[in-house]
Amino acid sequence: MPWVSGGNITGTTGRKLRIEGININLSQDTVHSLTGTIMYRTHVQDIGWTGWKTLGQYSGTSGRAKQVEAIEIKLTGQLATFYNIYYSSHIENYGWLGWASNGQTSGSTGISYRVEALRINLVRKGAPAPGSVANYYKNKPVYTPKPAALDVMSKNAQVRASSTRWLIMTDTSACQVGVYSGSYGNWSRVALWSCGPGKPSTPTVKGEFTIYGRGKSFGSRSYTCWYYTQFYGNYLFHSVLYNRGSMTQIQDGTLGKQVSHGCVRLDINNAKWLYDNIPNGTKVVIY
């Protein structure tokens, strides 16, 4: 796409197209003899944060069909003393977000929403922002429970027995995990979470199972999953994928979709809650 400036839009809106990478430069007419530079990095699907780039270097990927999900831009030196850098992302399912500035994260992480367009504006210190600076970043999906699916889940729960006072119901179609407390015929739901069960090619096993093991983490050279709770063979409840050894850098935080290799992915806080609170012997129903 051609170069744009002055807060004009690069990318597209209303066409469901992703940005895969970006080059950012500074006009010498603007910076004159000021020291410093502009630096930027992108959060890319399945990769996470890339390294910092500067002055026209490409940040992102090309030819790999991977979307940019967030961006951070900052100034250094005298440029940072005399100017603010503002930037706003148009992201999937939300539209335009507010204006982030000076290294803040614009876009989303952990929810797999593509950046479709960007606006960037260099503003002198003391001058107003180009627009609202609220809601410039999203890290949790808008999640509305599906009433019909919940009714089915609760009805199914009442005819199940568990060896503990807990029962875990998992709807792989609605991508929901329900945590119930009580006993046969008298179960009350105490939590409802969005989850990421197995994708169609590697589905989550269905049936009735029992919790029998747990551990703090597992992974590979490229990722770590935290707080797993085991219910059948290698099938687990566990956190979404994080960069290796990190509890803060999410590599793939997709929930609400069938996305895994068979396990049931959860937000790390929910995975830890299961790990901490649900005893071995608890019934798990997957359907």
Provide the token pair at 41: 């990095």
CB 48 within 8 A of CB 67: no
Decide: residue 93, CB within 10 A, 0-12 exposed, 13-18 middle, 19+ buried: exposed
> How many Å apart are CA 119 and CA 6, to the nearest integer?
8
Q: If DSSP codes are grouped into helix, strand and coil, which group holds residue 273?
A: helix
263 is catalytic: yes
> How many Å apart are CA 66 and CA 20, to the nearest integer?
6
> How many Å apart are CA 265 and CA 263, to the nearest integer?
6
Catalytic hit among 43, 195, 225, 238 = 238
Catalytic hit among 175, 195, 225, 263 = 263
175 is catalytic: no
Phi, psi of 154 (to 5 degrees): -65, -40
Q: If DSSP codes are grouped into helix, strand and coil, which group holds residue 80?
A: helix
Active site residues: 238, 263
